[in-house]
Structures are given as C-alpha cells and as structure tokens.
Structure 1
Amino acid sequence: MSSDETHLTGDVSWIGECFPLDGRHQHVSVYLTRHDGRYVVVDSGSFYHREAILDALERATDGEGIDALILSHSDYPHSANVSAFREAWGDFELVASSGSPEIQGLPEATRCEIGGSLSVRGRRYDFIDPPLADRSHTTWIYDRADGVLYTADGFGAHHRPGECAWVSSAFDDGIPEERIRAYHETALAWLRYVDPEKVHGAIESIFAEYDVRYVAPIHGNPIAGEDVDRYLDRLYRSIERISDAYDVPE
C-alpha cells in the first residue's frame, strides 16, 4: 500500500505501512500530530518502508519535516528511521522510553519516565506502563489533547489485502476476533503463560483512568472510541483462548 495520510482526530493522522504475512498483512505504522504549526510523530516505522514513510511525512508537513519524534521503544519496527529522518530534516526533539537511551544508540534522546508526562513541542503526553508489550523498555503514549492512546505492541490485528487503510469503523462488525487472537498469539508469545484476569484488570485500569477517544496501535488498524469496547471484549476472549490453548505446568 502507499503511505496515505488518514485523519483520525482533530490533530492526529495515521500513516500506515504494512507487509505481507502468509496471505495476510500486518501494519507497521507511524502517527503524525499537527500542533501550533509544529509536527510531532510517534514511532519512525520500519526501514523496509523508509522511502514511503519519508515521502508521506514530506507531503503531510508541506516539506517542512518533523519537529519531534516520540518512540514507543527502540526496536527496529519502531525506531529504524531515526537517522533517515535526521538526514532529511535536520535536528528534532527525540523522546525515548528506554531507561538508558545511550546504550541503545540514542544518546541525544530525552528519556521519558514511565508513569510520568512530558511536554513535547507544547503538547502534553503521558507515558504508561503497558500491559501488552514485547520489550521491557516499551511505553504506551497518551495524548491528552486529543485523547489518543498509542499502543505498542498490543491492540494489533492482522488484516486482509485491501483493508490496509481501514480504521475500525470500516469493518462490517468491527475488527474480527480471530485476527486479534492470531496477532497477539504470535507477537506476544508470553500470553500463553499469564493469568488472563490479571491482564484484563491491568488494561481496564488504563481505560478507567484515561479518556481514550482513539486507540492508535503500531501493528493494527486504528480503533475509534465507539469501537473500543467491542475490540476489548474480543481482545479479552483472545487472551483467554491463548492461555487455555497451552498446557503450562504450575
């Protein structure tokens, strides 16, 4: 697919890229916020999609480039294009979730505090300890102004060719449960060892605390606020199914 910009909320747009995976597709997305003439991006995407993402951001920012980049974590599907962004647009503010960004090759990054918040180019973001992640240095990011919750690596789902640019409302009955389960079973293999109720409770506590008007996953179709409860029900059942499918000794 081409990296077309899809408007989600007042200030936030989705720039989606995906790759084929055994007849289905999986997203590796970035998100762009416009605020007071400045541009803030969440995650930089995969190096496989480097040129397409650079072209999309160049168009979306009218050639100005970005002013800040917030990384959910430093794995390649999320941070692989930092150097390319710098080559294209020069210096910008970089925020990373790692406790020691310099060890991960990001010595110039501002370190966010998990459980804390930061003002990035005049916009306030909260950094949340994620119940669904594949690395310990991951954060979920909450945009206070537009109520967008950026999630890595949870809340993903596989999609079919032709559904690459769909948001949740484009599906006839929401994002299918089987695709939610299949994604989480492969992306977060540790779910087979968990107590599903504890995971459910951790997720519910986040949605009780934050006014989430859009969930913006890095590896799935964005989920509009009116579709979140339906997605959550399917996610919880998926986690239970994953846990039940494996006989793990106590």
Structure 2
Amino acid sequence: MTVHVTETVEWVNKCYEHDGEHEHVSLYLVREGDDVILIDSGSFYHREGVTESIEEATDGEGPDAIVLSHSDYPHAGNVTPLGAETDEVELVASSGSPGQQGLPDARKCEIGGQLEVKGRTFSFIDPPLADRSHTTWIYDHGDGVLFTADGFGNYHEPGQCDYLSSDFADATPAESIYEYHRDNLVWLRYVAPEKVQTTLDAIFDEFAVDAIAPIHGNPIEGDDVDVYRDRLFDAMSRIAEEYEV
C-alpha cells in the first residue's frame, strides 16, 4: 500500500484519470522513531482509499501529525478523517492565517522558516511553482526529501502509478513533464523561464535534495533529479514559446 522513496519516507498515491492517462494525488508518510508524520492528506475524492492505506501502514494507529503544503481539497481533503481535529494528531498548516482557511486549530508554519514536528526538522520554502497562494514546499532535513506542490509533477500511463523515476526506461518522460505543467500551471506562459530557473537554483543550492516527492507526480530519485530539472526547464521554455501573450 506504500512505496519507499527513502528509508523513512513512504509514498501513498491515488490517481485521477486524465485523457487516457493518470494524474497522481499523493501524500507521504515520514517515520520518525515511533511517530508517523503525514505530508498532505490527499483528496476527499479518494477518502476511502487514503484512510485504508494509512490505517494499514500504521497498524491502525493513524498519524501523529499532518503537515499541509496548502489547504485546498487535493491536499487537505482528509484532515478530519485522519484525526486532525483530535488532540492526538498535530496539524501544521502553511497558511498565513489557518483559521481563515478552515483550520482554526492548526499550528502555523512560517514560509521561509523551520519547525520541528515530532522530532523531525522541516524547512518551509516559498515555491516558485505553485497554483495557490499560501503554498509551501517542505524540505525534510532527515532524509533530504523535498516535497513539492504543485510543481515537479507529471502525467503517467495506467500501470505506472507506483513507479519511481528509476522505474521508467529513461527517468520521468519529458513529454509528461511538459503536458502536466502546461495544463496545471498555466501562468508559466507569462513568465521568463530563466527567472524561474534562477529561483530553483537558489533552492537547490541551499538544500541538499536527495529526492523530490511531488504531490502530483512520480517521485524523483538521486541522479534523476538533475535529469528532471533539465527537462523541466525545457518544458517551461517550450510553454513560453508556444503561447503569445
């Protein structure tokens, strides 16, 4: 029910159908000793499958904390059934005002800051690729995993739902990276790709990223991170060239 991305980070994926392909809506488990921290909570559309997967992965105990990249439905749709309204589960939200987004009991993270959650240290990054305000990318200092919403995604074929980047013939396919960002981050047609790339370079210079865990794509491992980044820049350049604005 889960796929290991690193030794202590596991992936739970569910999918939407998209023109004969699939798009992931994922969450991740981070294990810190006996505690389980969830990154995002998945979509309410997949509620039954998500809750069953988390129950199985935690031997019925459920998570000890949930950290949200942002509070729209594909990311925060299951905070209540996963226990975030109880005293047993700590909820951390990226919003500048969690209460205004329906999360009055959430612990607020500061974008650009750092928090310790259940003994695990996370940094919260202002993302250059996002579809909503009050979104953050989350960097796990334990295993060097960068959790990204909503950038670094891709579509995939049926049967590739559990693939890591190394399971593809040649890492994440370039066309699927292009199509995902064209469809989901439509504002890319209005920006200079070089400026986005400069911001990404600064993030990767500051944080030692050993794996990328996107909410809407297959996880990216090791040397495939550089391959993906090159393909992402090509995709952004192609989007900018194809649209007259």
TM range (shorter): over 0.9
What residue is the counterpart of 1:77 in the other structure?
Answer: 74
The AA in structure 1 aligned to 2:67 is: I
Query: Within the alignment, does 1:136 sit opposite 2:133 as a pair?
Result: yes
The AA in structure 1 aligned to 2:221 is: A
What residue is the counterpart of 2:185 in the other structure?
Answer: 188
TM-score scaled by structure 1? 0.96
Q: How many Å separate the matches in 2 of 1:34 and 1:62?
A: 13
Is the contact made by 2:84 and 2:90 (CA closer than 8 Å) also made in structure 1? no
The AA in structure 1 aligned to 2:50 is: I
Is the contact made by 1:66 and 1:89 (CA closer than 8 Å) also made in structure 2? no
The percentage of aligned residue pairs carrying the same residue is 57
Superposition pairs of residues 35-54 of structure 1, within 5 angstroms: 35-54=32-51
Superposition pairs of residues 1-250 of structure 1, within 5 angstroms: 4-86=1-83, 91-248=88-245
- 4+ residue segments displaced more than 3 Å: 87-91
Is the contact made by 2:66 and 2:84 (CA closer than 8 Å) also made in structure 1? no
Q: 1:91: how far off?
A: 3.3
Q: 1:164-199, CA deviations, whole angstroms, 9 ceiling, x for partnerless residues? A: 000000000111111101000111000000011000
| Structure 2 residues without counterparts, runs of 5 or longer | none
The AA in structure 1 aligned to 2:88 is: D
| Structure 1 residues without counterparts, runs of 5 or longer | none
TM-score scaled by structure 2? 0.98
Q: 1:111-142, CA deviations, whole angstroms, 9 ceiling, x for partnerless residues? A: 10011000000110000000000011000000
Is the contact made by 1:44 and 1:79 (CA closer than 8 Å) also made in structure 2? yes
User: How many residue pairs were aligned?
Assistant: 245
Q: How many Å separate the matches in 2 of 1:26 and 1:168?
A: 15
- 3-state SS of 1:125 partner: strand
Q: 1:19: how far off?
A: 1.2
The AA in structure 2 aligned to 1:31 is: Y
Q: How many Å separate the matches in 1 of 2:35 and 2:106?
A: 19
Is the contact made by 1:98 and 1:111 (CA closer than 8 Å) also made in structure 2? yes
- 3-state SS of 1:84 partner: coil
Is the contact made by 1:65 and 1:89 (CA closer than 8 Å) also made in structure 2? no
